[in-house]
C-alpha cells in the first residue's frame, strides 16, 4: 500500500503504478491546511505544539515584512505544503536517511522522494516559476523562521550544543527576527483549528491579491 487517505477522503498515491493516474495526486488546499496544522515541527521536540502550518504563516509574515509581492508571499506560505502528503521529517533525519541510501550504493532517496512531490504540488498551484526565480530569498525566509523557532521553542543552548550549520555559518549566520516571539501565551493558546483557519484565510487573500496585481499589470 503506497497511498494515503487525506482528510477530505481523497486517495493520494505516493508511488507505484497508481501514481500515474490523472486523479492519483490531486492537491486540495483544505487537505493541506488541515494536515499541516496537525503535523509538528522538530518531531515534537518543542516547548509547545508547533505545527508546520504555524511555521508556514511565520515564513509568510517574514516575506511580507521584507516587502515581497503577494505571489512571493504565497510561495513562502506554500513552501512546505507538500509535507501535507509526505509528512515532516527533521533535517538530521533526512540527512541520515539519504546517507543510508548512498552508503548502500544507491541515491539520496528522501531528497528525491520529497522533491518529486514538492514539484508536483507547486506546479498544481502555478508556483514553479516563482520558486525557481526566488530560491535564495525563500531559503533565507525559511532560515529566519528556523532561527526564531530555535530561540523561542527548543532546548538549544549555544554553550552546550554544537552549532547548526544552516544557521551558524561563520560568514553567513542567520539572525532570528526581533519583531516576533513564538513563546507567547497567545500563540500557545491558539488551537490547531485556528491555525488551519488562518492558513486558509491567508492563502485565499494572497491568491486574490496576486490576481489583482496581475490584472493591473496586464491593463498597463
The tens digit of pLDDT for each residue in 109-128 reads 888 889 999 999 999 999 99
pLDDT of residue 172: 76
Q: Tell me if 22 sits within 8 A of 30, measured CB to CB.
A: no
Q: Is residue 79 part of a domain?
A: yes
Selected residue with higher pLDDT from 30 and 169:
30
Q: What is the CATH number of the domain that holds 115?
A: 1.10.3210.10
List the domain range (segments joined by +) for residue 127: 30-219
Q: Taking the model in full, what pTM does it have? A: 0.93
Q: Is the pLDDT of residue 170 over 70?
A: no
The per-residue pLDDT for 20 is 80
| Non-local CB neighbours of 86 within 8 Å, separated by 6+ positions | 14, 113, 114, 117
Domain contains 125: yes
Number of structural domains (the chain) is 1
Amino acid at each position: 500500500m503506497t497511498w494515503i487517505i487525506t482528510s477530505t477522503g481523497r486517495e493520494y498515491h505516493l508511488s507505484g503504478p497508481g501514481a500515474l493516474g490523472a486523479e492519483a495526486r490531486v492537491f486540495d488546499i483544505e487537505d493541506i491546511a488541515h494536515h499541516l496544522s496537525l503535523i509538528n515541527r522538530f518531531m515534537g521536540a518543542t516547548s509547545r505544539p508547533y505545527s508546520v502550518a504555524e511555521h508556514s504563516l511565520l515564513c509568510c509574515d517574514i516575506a511580507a515584512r521584507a516587502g515581497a509581492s503577494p505571489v512571493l508571499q504565497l510561495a513562502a506560505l506554500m513552501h512546505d505544503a507538500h509535507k501535507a502528503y509526505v509528512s515532516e521529517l527533521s533535517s538530521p533525519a533526512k540527512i541520515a536517511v539519504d546517507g543510508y541510501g548512498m552508503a548502500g550504493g544507491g541515491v539520496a532517496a528522501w531528497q528525491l522522494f520529497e522533491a518529486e512531490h514538492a514539484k508536483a504540488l507547486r506546479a498544481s498551484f502555478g508556483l514553479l516559476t516563482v520558486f525557481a526565480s526566488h530560491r535564495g530569498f525563500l531559503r533565507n525566509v525559511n532560515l529566519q523562521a528556523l532561527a526564531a523557532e530555535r530561540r523561542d521553542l527548543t532546548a538549544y543552548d549555544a554553550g552546550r550544543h554544537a552549532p547548526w550549520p544552516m544557521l551558524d555559518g561563520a560568514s553567513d549566520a542567520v539572525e532570528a527576527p526581533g519583531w516576533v516571539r513564538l513563546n507567547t501565551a497567545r500563540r500557545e493558546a491558539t488551537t490547531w483549528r485556528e491555525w488551519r483557519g488562518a492558513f486558509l484565510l491567508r492563502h485565499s487573500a494572497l491568491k486574490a491579491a496576486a490576481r489583482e496585481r496581475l490584472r493591473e499589470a496586464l491593463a498597463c
